[in-house]
């Protein structure tokens, strides 16, 4: 049995519509997950894994072990490696580690870790460091965010928004230039905010 269907039934959602109402999606989306036609977006996948108390890998059929490493003091969230192909997908081949975050942090939204690749945010954020990211589709000026460009390149930058809807991606490292995207470029490329960086885990 498809694990999305298996877990839905095991947790008392008798119909696909019952689950769809809780997730604020349509019943067709749930049906597609259970038929294997599509998979949920990363935020929905994380929410389902939390609801069912199983790993995302287990739901996707990548792992026979249902539960992730646990900690009495917090919640272990997956750290994704250098992800090719765009928006990080929580599949076995992309999870390189787990980081512990406070339970209070997970109450505010879905959380992942992402390993930084590059030097543009030095000296504060170095190549190989892990940023803890709350998945959300928008951030404020001054926030540090993970941004997806052209569907296949994820980057960590400070955000500056202009009144006309354009956006600046600003590095910390003065050796790198800020990049500006007009509203039209944001739509056409597209330029998509994945989430806000809420913590930094420096690596040595």
Q: Is residue 66 scored above 60 in pLDDT?
A: yes
Look at residues 140, 71, 144, 79 and name the one whose alpha carbon lies nearest to residue 103: 71
**Mind listing the pLDDT tens digit for each residue in 97-140?**
788 888 788 777 788 888 888 899 999 999 889 999 998 889 99
Determine whether 160 is an active site residue.
no
pLDDT, tens digit, 9 for 90 and up, residues 43-52: 788 788 888 8
Active site residue 157: yes
CATH code for 74-204? 2.10.109.10
Residue 86 pLDDT class (50, 70, 90 cuts):
very low
Run of H or E residues at 181:
strand 179-181
CA distance 84 to 38: 19
Q: What pLDDT was estimated at residue 29?
A: 93
Average pLDDT, whole number, for the chain?
85
pTM check: above 0.75: no
Of the candidates 157, 161, 196, 203, the residue annotated as catalytic is 157
The set of residues, in sequence order, having a beta carbon less than 8 Å from that of 20 and lying 6+ positions away, is: 26, 27, 29, 30
- Which residue in the list 120, 153, 161, 203 is annotated as catalytic? 120
Q: How far apart are CA 30 and CA 52, in angstroms?
A: 15
* Cα-based distances in Å from 99 to 70, 107, 132, 167: 10, 16, 8, 31
């Amino acid at each position: 049995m498809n694990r999305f269907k298996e877990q839905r039934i095991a947790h008392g959602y008798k119909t696909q519509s019952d689950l769809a109402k809780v997730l604020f999606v349509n019943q067709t989306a749930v049906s597609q997950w259970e038929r294997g036609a599509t998979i949920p977006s990363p935020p929905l996948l994380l929410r389902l894994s939390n609801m069912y108390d199983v790993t995302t890998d287990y739901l996707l059929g990548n792992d026979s072990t249902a539960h992730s490493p646990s900690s009495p003091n917090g919640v272990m969230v997956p750290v994704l490696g250098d992800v090719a192909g765009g928006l990080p997908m929580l599949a076995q081949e992309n999870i390189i580690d787990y980081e512990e975050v406070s339970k209070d942090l997970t109450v505010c939204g879905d959380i992942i870790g992402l390993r930084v690749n590059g030097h543009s945010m030095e000296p504060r954020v170095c190549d190989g460091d892990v940023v803890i990211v709350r998945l959300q589709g928008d951030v404020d000026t001054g926030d540090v965010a993970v941004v997806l460009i052209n569907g296949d390149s994820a980057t960590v930058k400070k955000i500056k928004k202009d009144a006309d809807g354009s956006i600046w991606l600003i590095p910390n490292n003065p050796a790198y230039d800020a990049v500006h995207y007009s509203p039209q470029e944001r739509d056409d490329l597209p330029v998509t905010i994945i989430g806000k960086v809420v913590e930094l885990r420096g690596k040595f």
